[in-house]
Amino acid sequence: MTTSLLERLIEAFRILPGVGQKTAQRMAYHVLEREREGGKRLAETLGEAIERIGHCVRCRDFSETELCATCASPSRDAHQLCIVESPADRLAIEQATGYRGLYFILQGRLSPLDGIGPRELGLDQLAERLAEGEVQELIIATNPTVEGEATAHYLAQLARQHDVRPSRLAHGVPLGGELEYVDRGTLSHAFGTRSEMPR
């Protein structure tokens, strides 16, 4: 039995995260009923992006050029290297902080059950970069999940092997949060890693 073009369109929308059958169906109908021109632009832009966007050879972020704008910028501090799991994490840090160092994007986290080891995360490339001697601090900004913590531990060991100081983003009670609503794991971690208040 042949699949209709409409069914193929609906199925194509389902590759997006969080998009199930009903949402994909709604998207397909919307494009066909009200946004045919927008749909053409989407298709053209998507095709061009898939063809032209690759990865920066230095930090593994998405880039149209061999070296991304951040790595190519002479105004960034090459002594600090922030490790994140994804380009979205890099963007979040860039937008929310005044960080002016460089990045290394893992494009995932260690997960042996899924076949994701150090090689898949580019950690051999990271080790070479640390061996160059320019990086003085490795800021580990992996997510506070089981896999993220295992990855952070591995990265800290790698940093110490190259005489680079590893640091970890603080985790704990969110700003504006109330203790009674914070989950037990977060509260326990925040309590266990408390620090002295500045004068």
**DSSP states of 117-171 as a string?**
-TTTTTHHHHHHHHHTS---EEEE---SSHHHHHHHHHHHHHHHHTT-EEEE---
pLDDT at site 145: 86
What would the mean pLDDT of 161-179 be, rounded to a whole number?
Answer: 84
pLDDT at site 13: 94
Domain boundaries, the chain: 76-168, 173-199
What would the mean pLDDT of 122-133 be, rounded to a whole number?
Answer: 95
Pick the CATH number of 76-168 from 3.30.70.260, 3.40.640.10, 3.40.1360.10, 3.40.50.2020: 3.40.1360.10
Q: Please state, rounded to an integer, the average pLDDT across all residues of the chain.
A: 91
| pLDDT surpasses 90 at 114 | no
| pLDDT surpasses 70 at 138 | yes
| pLDDT surpasses 70 at 19 | yes
What would the mean pLDDT of 180-193 be, rounded to a whole number?
Answer: 78
What would the mean pLDDT of 89-114 be, rounded to a whole number?
Answer: 92
